Amino acid sequence: MKRFLAAPLAACALACAVLLGGCGGPAPEELIRTDLTAEFDAISAENEELTDLIEESSGGAFELLDISPEEFAKGCFGDFSYEIGDIEADEKEGIASAEVTIKMKSFTDILAKFQEEYQAWISSIDPAAVPTEDEIYAKGGEILMSVMSETPAEETDAILDYSKNEDGDWELDGDGAEDAVLDAMF
């Protein structure tokens, strides 16, 4: 009787092993979506690390312009949003791509409008009442923040590529989200 039951039990165990082997974890598309969400969620005016990075890379410009890095981050990234679209993964080749729509303000547009408005203000200064250097910089900061608040966010489509590394994990090629955001900004 034991031999009679052993064969069906072994067959059942083998079938379960084969079926469970196909359930080896989340699909690549799900892993990539989770990774992209983490990358893009970090791009926020409330993210202190991002604000600190902006401040560090400014070289003291915020103090000179009499604006705070937090103010700047809110003006620049306050309207930031993203939507992850289709994700296609080829597990055999170890490559994948994800479509992402990024909505944010164009810094190219901001700088062009700032230059125009700042130049107009400089041209309007009465030569008999030239402001101090500090006042000139503070007015520049005021104009920059005004232009930033008036600039609408625009949508940009990006394709982000992923590759499977030697450990079998999916990782962004290059700087991924950072590059996509920089492309959208400029």
With CA atoms as reference, report the closest residue to 136 among 148, 147, 124. 124
CA distance 122 to 105: 25
pLDDT (tens digit per residue) in 154-174? 999 999 999 999 998 998 887
> Which is more confidently placed, 24 or 97?
97
pLDDT of residue 139: 95
CA distance 76 to 3: 73
Residue 88 belongs to what H/E stretch? strand 81-90
For the cut 60, the answer to whether the pLDDT of residue 91 exceeds it is yes
pLDDT (tens digit per residue) in 107-118? 999 999 999 999
Q: Which residue's entry shows tokens 């598309």?
A: 29
Residues 110/143, Cβ–Cβ less than 8 Å: no
Residues 110/150, Cβ–Cβ less than 8 Å: no
pLDDT-derived band at 84, boundaries 50, 70, 90: very high
Q: What is the pTM of this model?
A: 0.74
